[in-house]
Amino acid sequence: MTHADLVLTPTHLRCLGRRFPCTVGRGGISAQKREGDGATPRGVHRIVGLLYRPDRRAQPAAWALPIRPGDLWSDDPSDAAYNRMVRAPYAPSHERLFRADPLYDLILLTDWNWPDAVPGRGSAIFVHRWRKPGHPTEGCVALRPGDLRWIADRIGPGTRLVVR
């Protein structure tokens, strides 16, 4: 492991010598991740993208891409675009990235089941803002807003999320 890795335990995330409280999926941490199980997958996952809401914050890094109205994420295992960003209108099951709440104002994308998604293995695992302390996610890793910004300002593509 390197000093810049994001190292996740069930109670906190370590990065660059600091510890951050976090939450994980409602299904806990699992070595057998499946679509809809609410689990955070165990393993080593690279950070492959950074998305942000330009109407709510400045671009956090040169490699960050804006989230626009109509940006969605396909979570339908039978869809050819499963586990990829897609645009509305879009009929298959999906998650809206441009949300009314601030949950996805800043998203670190991991390479979980990407770029060659295996149907049913589980769609995107993001690192994003938490709803409130202790509130689980659907499998993502969630942090306090200020902690997420601090991390996003200091890491780059290829940083690893290590889930023990």
Q: What is the pLDDT of residue 82?
A: 95
Q: What is the pLDDT of residue 109?
A: 98
* Number of domains the chain is built from: 1
3-class secondary structure for 80-119? CCCCCEEECCCCCCEEECCCCCCCCCEEEEECCCCCCCCC
For the record, the structure tokens of 90 come out as 């879009």
> Under a CB-based contact definition with an 8 Å cutoff, are residues 14 and 116 in contact?
no
User: pLDDT by residue (tens digit) across 55-67?
Assistant: 999 999 999 999 9
42 assigned to some structural domain: yes
121 assigned to some structural domain: yes
1 assigned to some structural domain: no
CA pair distance 52, 74, nearest whole angstrom: 18
Residue 92: domain span: 6-163
Q: What is the pLDDT of residue 142?
A: 97
User: pLDDT by residue (tens digit) across 138-150?
Assistant: 999 999 999 999 9
User: Which one-letter DSSP state was computed for residue 79?
Assistant: S
Q: What is the mean pLDDT of residues 2-10?
A: 88
Domain holding 67: CATH number? 2.40.440.10
In this prediction, residue 22 has a pLDDT band, given cuts at 50, 70 and 90, of very high
43 assigned to some structural domain: yes
The reported pTM is 0.95
Count of H helices and E strands in the chain?
1, 14
The yes-or-no verdict on residue 11 having pLDDT over 80 is no
Q: What is the mean pLDDT of residues 114-142?
A: 95
3-class secondary structure for 15-42? ECCEEEEEECECCCEECCCCCCCCCEEC
CA pair distance 138, 50, nearest whole angstrom: 19
